[in-house]
Amino acid sequence: MMNMLIKNFDFTAYKDPGILEFKDVVLGEKTLPLSMVACPGKVSSIIIDPTAGHQLVMAILGLDKVKEGYITVDGEMVTYGSGAFFRQMMCYVPHFLPQADMTVAELCRQVISKYNGKHLRLEALTETWQRLSINPSIWKEKIRNIPQSSLWLVLLSLVPMRKVPIVLIEAPVIKNETVDSFISQLAQQGREVICTTQNQPLSSFQVLNLTSKSE
């Protein structure tokens, strides 16, 4: 029933801003509690162990649970049940991509297939790929032959095509001035950008360190 409601829901008519909030969220004994309100137009970085960082992102997506506290979007709890609805408001850039048997073109079309991406052409990404220094020759290559760093940049390049309020970036594979500027611009377009990292956070409006003092 929930899937049917989501399928028939007109997300273009959803007027709430999609404000993501964390209230006393505890993932485990080795991480400090997280209380934060994400800000539209800003990047928020969370310094956290990679394993706990992945768990946090999955909990935001409604695919995992936290030990204590809660996560909300516009005041509504994110749970296994409500997660499918709220994921429509999010764009997720994972740290690692499994080596599936498909080309980069097929990957890009699959990622945004729900958003009229079935006929996505390389020309639509040319400007973004130039900015991120992605070689267009990889478009027809199998993803198993492409370095993870390049695949990560490809996934990042698709974010502007998703008109959603929340962007989740898990442990960026590449950190340089170009990537930093690109992610900042994503936020400046009105998105809430949440970035997990083990160290060296990107330029951020707020940085929260969840690393336990005992470590």
* Percent of all residues in the chain with a pLDDT value above 90, rounded to a whole number: 74
Q: What is the distance between the terminal CA atoms of the chain, rounded to a whole angstrom?
A: 45
pTM: 0.88
Q: Which residues pair with 34 in a beta bridge?
A: 25
Query: What pLDDT band is residue 213 in, cutting at 50, 70 and 90?
Result: low
pLDDT tens digits for range 6-58: 444 444 444 556 899 999 999 988 899 999 999 999 999 999 999 999 999 99
Q: Domains of the chain: which residue ranges?
A: 2-209
pLDDT value at residue 5: 40
pLDDT at residue 119 is higher than 90: no
pLDDT at residue 65 is higher than 70: yes
Q: How far does Cα 168 stand from its chain's mean position?
A: 2
Q: Which residues pair with 192 in a beta bridge?
A: 42, 166
Instruction: Tell whether domain 2-209 is in CATH 3.30.465.10.
Output: no
DSSP of 106-123: HHHHHHTGGGT-TT--GG
Comparing 26-35, 165-174, 179-188, which segment has the lowest mean pLDDT? 26-35
pLDDT at residue 118 is higher than 80: no
pLDDT value at residue 200: 85
Q: Identify which has the larger pLDDT, 17 or 84.
A: 84
Sign, Cα dihedral of 87, 120, 94, 196:
negative
Helix (H, G, I), strand (E, B), or coil: what is residue 31? strand
Ramachandran assignment for 100, one of left (phi > 0), alpha (psi -120 to 50 degrees), beta (any other): beta
Residue 174 structure tokens? 């590449």
* Distance of alpha carbon 180 from alpha carbon 191, whole angstroms: 15
Identity of the residue numbered 199: N
